[in-house]
Amino acid sequence: MTNPLLADDALPRFSSIRPEHVEPAVDTVLADNRAAIRQLLDAGGPWGWDNLVAPLERLEDRLERVWSPVSHLNAVRNSEGLRAAYNACLPKLSAYQTEVGQNTELFEAMQALRESGAFAELDQAQRQTVDNALRDFRLAGVALPETEKRRYAEIASRLSELSSRFQENLLDATNAWQLDVTNEARLAGVPESALGVMRQAAEQAGVEGWRVTLDVPVVQAILGHARDRELRREVYEAFTTRASDTGPHGGRWDNLPLMREILALRREQAALLGFASYAELSLQPKMAESPAQVIGFLEDLAQRAKPVAEQEFAELAAFAREQDGLETLEAWDVGYYSERLREARFELSPEDLRPYLQADRVMDGLFQVVERLFGVRIQAREGVDVWHEDVRFYEIRDPDGTLRGQFYTDLYARPQKRGGAWMATLRGRLRDGERLQTPVAFLTCNFTPPVGGRPALITHDEVETLFHEFGHGLHHMLTRVDAASVAGINGVAWDAVELPSQFLENWTWEREALDLFAAHHETGEPIPEALFQRLRAARNFQAAMQMVRQLEFSLFDLRLHTEPDAEARIYELLEAVREQVAVVRPPAFNRFPNSFAHIFAGGYAAGYYSYKWAEVLSADAYSRFEEEGIFNAETGRAFLENILEKGGSEDAMSLFVAFRGREPSIEPLLRASGLAA
């Protein structure tokens, strides 16, 4: 049988990939890579780019070409067979990565290159690659004694398994719960767009009425709009107790034992490498210098935001009392009364904008915004093999037709698909002699799908999400760097990686940009000026409450990864952080940490603060466009050349200063969040 994962196709043949292809493909590439590394070292120095770093980059790329499609399918088309194959490979991949990271001969070869005259002849991106590699060797334990190296390898392998199980438990718990409603009165207040999705889910399951699930668009619709308070409470409890010891499936997919083990192992790993905490280890490749600096940054924001957030919450509680005589505002009431207060204060509901935000048109408008800013052209390409009928494929080209990047979009929620929104990489830019590999990205969201012959209509929040993820995609695809390890998002300090994504969100609030895509799906009319003004006026509605919520997550994450016995006190630490910054206090049954995939199954451990850190950069970067014109071609080119094209080839602060002409200021973020005064 020919294995599609080993084919040298320009793009994967997703429809041909089966679970039984996965392990043989991974085994083949790992064996080939090990043999190639041995051969490379046996050939000996003197070491340079062409006989050391470039061959290693090619090997890493070959592994990514096999594993990226598998990892992606596991997230968007999860099945028992694929899950088993994916999990069978995790220990093998972990063992290989640790083996390479701890290879003393490779480390000494890289060190010899760093200290030789050949290093001075390398370009900036190549020098950065060598320096990053030496740092990563140290962080992989290359200098440890043999017994400690073995322990490090065991920990790395176990952590990859635990992260995967965390994500699986969360997906299974999300898919396991549903509530079938036959009495329409229970769903009073819920927007028609969400009712259509629930009706469709019920039809597909062969049941009467409406099926309420834990897909995020459905949960948001219930919590934001259902008048039935008991229904809100039921959905809130099911959603916030997923993968925990409590709630409707309490104990069935409980992530707590995994979380405890993950935290203990991370701390042990950090200690092996000589760090006082996992947070210290995590910050090594980031912009921030120490956990204390990050905590200071977060607490400073909290001091500014919390008094305003308390005021916002008091207004909300007073409004709920006045409207419905509600004496206690519970967590499952906050979304509902927030929407009613927004409607009362600004005559605005997210549903008011939905008819103007047809997903396909929004996509076209996003492309037009990017084309105007960065001078590229984006076009759909038909006939590409995909994993689901909703998936589309596009190409980004320079004005002269040169191909810059390619990407897949998969926009709608469905079962067996991980929740949330993300950009992931399929291929990175890599120059191999004359051949230049085009970067390819995945853009994944979980929007409300089209229902009953009507087009998919999304909320303004979802438009922001789409722009955000595409900002990551542009960072990956528009790179001009030929050294794969620092091309695109590779090698970018994690606390700067959100800069392009948060930056691009700003255009979703500008009339000039909205007019490129916001048009009524039936009449074609643009958003009426009065509605646009209400949208703008409501931009900072409860901004301080939203900020303290993000600060709560960030401080909780940092404390989990700095305090010596955190795994024994997970919920207790969260309570302590809430005491410090939160204004909404959830009920005792809430198990938010059990679904905090960013830090337990994603790349944000001791790094969740990156969203706020990068927001300082993005708000300040955008302020230059506010000064010079939001579609100023020269400013767009400066952002393209200094940030997007450079990837991780230079220090993030240097790149920011090159674009902005100075170090970042926090003022634009405070202004944008309505906290400047």
Residue 596's pLDDT is: 98
- Report the relative pairing of strands 422-427 and 440-447 from DSSP bridges: antiparallel
Token pair 């309570």: residue: 575
Reported as a pLDDT band with limits 50, 70 and 90, residue 168 is very high
498 and 610 Cβ atoms separated by less than 8 Å: yes
Q: Which CATH class is domain 4-171?
A: mainly alpha
Q: Where are the alpha helices (DSSP H) in 44-123?
A: 54-76, 80-101, 104-115, 117-120
Whether 149 shows a pLDDT value over 70: the answer reads yes
Whether 1 shows a pLDDT value over 80: the answer reads no
Q: Which residue type sits at 173?
A: A
CA distance 208 to 452: 17
Residue 93's pLDDT is: 97
Residue 452's pLDDT is: 82
Residue 346's pLDDT is: 96
Reported as a pLDDT band with limits 50, 70 and 90, residue 677 is low
Residues contacting 531, CB < 8 A, separation 6+: 348, 352, 353
- Mean per-residue pLDDT over the chain, rounded: 96
Whether 415 shows a pLDDT value over 70: the answer reads yes
Decide: helix, strand or coil at residue 458: coil
Average pLDDT of the residues in 262-278: 98
Decide: helix, strand or coil at residue 395: strand
380 and 393 Cβ atoms separated by less than 8 Å: yes
224 and 354 Cβ atoms separated by less than 8 Å: no
| Tens-place pLDDT, residues 222-237 | 999 999 999 999 999 9
When computed from its CA atoms, the radius of gyration of the chain, rounded to whole angstroms, is 25
Tokens (6 digits) for 21: 């292809």
Whether 96 shows a pLDDT value over 70: the answer reads yes
Q: Is 504 exposed, middle or buried (0-12, 13-18, 19+ CB in 10 A)?
A: buried
Residue 453's pLDDT is: 85
Whether 61 shows a pLDDT value over 80: the answer reads yes
Whether 451 shows a pLDDT value over 90: the answer reads no
Residue 676's CB: how many other CB atoms inside 10 A? 12
Kindly report the pTM of this predicted structure: 0.95
Element containing residue 210 per DSSP (H, E): strand 210-213
CA distance 97 to 63: 11
Reported as a pLDDT band with limits 50, 70 and 90, residue 377 is very high
Q: Which residue type sits at 448?
A: T
Whether 251 shows a pLDDT value over 80: the answer reads yes
| Tens-place pLDDT, residues 16-59 | 999 999 999 999 999 999 999 999 999 998 999 999 999 999 99
CA distance 593 to 569: 12
CA distances from 426 to 363, 438, 441, 443, 601 (A): 21, 10, 5, 11, 19
| Tens-place pLDDT, residues 568-602 | 999 999 999 999 999 999 999 999 999 999 999 98
Asked about 469 being catalytic, the answer comes back as yes
Q: Is 95 exposed, middle or buried (0-12, 13-18, 19+ CB in 10 A)?
A: middle
CA distance 266 to 279: 9
- Report the relative pairing of strands 435-437 and 430-432 from DSSP bridges: antiparallel
Element containing residue 412 per DSSP (H, E): strand 403-412
CA distance 243 to 255: 5
CA distance 470 to 378: 12
User: Active-site residue among 168, 469, 498, 567?
Assistant: 469
Q: Is 346 exposed, middle or buried (0-12, 13-18, 19+ CB in 10 A)?
A: middle
Instruction: Identify the sign of the CA torsion 631, 634, 639, 641.
Output: positive
CA distance 390 to 411: 7
CA distance 269 to 271: 5
| Tens-place pLDDT, residues 178-209 | 999 999 999 999 999 899 999 999 999 999 99
Average pLDDT of the residues in 494-508: 97
Domain with CATH 1.10.1370.40 in the chain: 4-171, 355-539
Q: What percent of the chain has pLDDT over 90?
A: 96
Reported as a pLDDT band with limits 50, 70 and 90, residue 676 is confident
**CATH: 3.90.1150.10, 3.40.50.720, 3.40.50.2300, 1.10.1370.40. Which one for 355-539?**
1.10.1370.40
